Amino acid sequence: MEKNADQSPEAMATRIRELESELETLRTTEQALRFEKTTLERFTRSIGAGIAHISRDYRTLWANRVLVDLFGDVTGKPCHLTYNGKKEVCSGCGVREVFDKGVKISTHEQMGYDADGQVIWSQLIATPLYDKQGRVESALEVVMPITERKRAEDAVRRERLFSDALISSLPGVMYLLGPDGSLKRWNRNMERVCGYTTEEMASLPPYAPIVERDRGMMMDKLKGVVEHGEGLVETSLQSRDGRETPYLLSGVRMEIDGTCYVVGTGMDMTRRLADARHREELIAKLRDTLARVRTLSGMLPICSSCKKIRDDKGYWNQIESYIRAHSDANFSHSICPDCLVRLYPAEAAAMAREQKEPDVK
């Protein structure tokens, strides 16, 4: 009777109303869950980073659309295989550090391959997810695409290598000076001339490579370059052992991030200065020779008998003595045929007979 009473029309109507209310609640909950899922997908996609839920056996339990677009369907597959094409867990894996070492946050960069086999770079951030007992049951991994950044870094690195090679190949010295005159960059020739290692050059005080007597002048010249845009100066570079090398230094103002620097080159003037001194010595010698030649030119008073020459002081000198004193000429004595006959007739006759006799062998 009680069972039949429970199936009375009134009870059945009440039960139906309860079921309809539960169904409506389920519909509302489903709509809310669907909305949350859509919102979550939109949010996780809009942040521009991949997000994956990784199990303890390194399988992807869930991934957002960013990862799916990059690597295809990854759900249920090993993360190291789908993201990096490796059969074993990746070296330096952040998720493994979370699982094995209990790391709270693990960050590292890693190279991988997308669904088309193209190389991509990512910054990976792994964090643990806990169960109700506080044990790590899985991990959340955020994948930040950094391929463009790595390409830019590689381009900068290649440009730096090229500029370093170009600067090192310059025949003279090259330098970049800060506003206080300190060296910011230099080439190998600068190290060779100064006699310091790269590390020692980096720790030198401002103007240290310049000889001490010229450092005040160099400070004024540097200010002039900053003010006028360029400049030129002659000075000497001093090595650590005190040896000085003359240089002609040029400088041009350069602005980097709002700060004025001076970039310049230097030419070793040792050879040129030596050549200049040699030219000066040669010119002086030529002038002296020309003066002597002029002394021998013009009217020279000469004795018609003994052939002595009177100098500008009134003294009479042998002709060879006078010429030797006023030129670079030297004399060797001999005797002409006429004087030989006049002074030594017998020897002259004997020599004449020898020249006429045939050579009989």
Q: Are residues 258 and 286 in the same domain?
A: no
Domain boundary among 121, 151, 181: 151
Q: Would you state the pLDDT for residue 330?
A: 72
Q: Would you state the pLDDT for residue 239?
A: 92
Distances (CA, A) of 247 to 21, 46, 74, 97, 183: 96, 60, 66, 58, 17
Q: Are residues 7 and 91 in the same domain?
A: no
Place of tokens 């300190």: 182
162 assigned to some structural domain? no
262 assigned to some structural domain? yes
C-alpha–C-alpha distance, residues 191 and 205, integer Å: 15
Q: Are residues 303 and 263 in the same domain?
A: no
164 assigned to some structural domain? no
Q: Would you state the pLDDT for residue 162?
A: 85
165 assigned to some structural domain? no
Domain boundary among 227, 245, 268: 268
This prediction has a pTM of 0.47
Q: Are residues 61 and 130 in the same domain?
A: yes
10 assigned to some structural domain? yes
Domain boundary among 151, 182, 211: 151
For residues 8, 13, 19 and 20, what is the CA-based torsion angle, rounded to 10 degrees?
170
158 assigned to some structural domain? no
Q: Would you state the pLDDT for residue 262?
A: 93
C-alpha–C-alpha distance, residues 68 and 72, integer Å: 5
Distances (CA, A) of 166 to 92, 102, 169, 319: 37, 49, 5, 68
25 assigned to some structural domain? yes
Token pair of 177 as six digits? 């000076």
320 assigned to some structural domain? yes
Q: Would you state the pLDDT for residue 1?
A: 43
Cβ burial, residue 39 (10 Å; 0-12/13-18/19+): exposed
Please count the structural domains in the chain: 4
Q: Are residues 72 and 106 in the same domain?
A: yes
Q: Would you state the pLDDT for residue 361?
A: 47
- Partnered with residue 296 across adjacent β-strands are none
Q: Which domain holds residue 323?
A: 274-347
What CATH number has the domain bearing residue 106? Answer: 3.30.450.20
Per-10-residue mean pLDDT of the chain, 361 residues long, equals 60 80 82 72 70 94 87 90 85 91 91 84 92 92 89 89 79 89 90 92 92 92 90 92 92 90 91 88 82 64 78 77 71 78 82 69 47
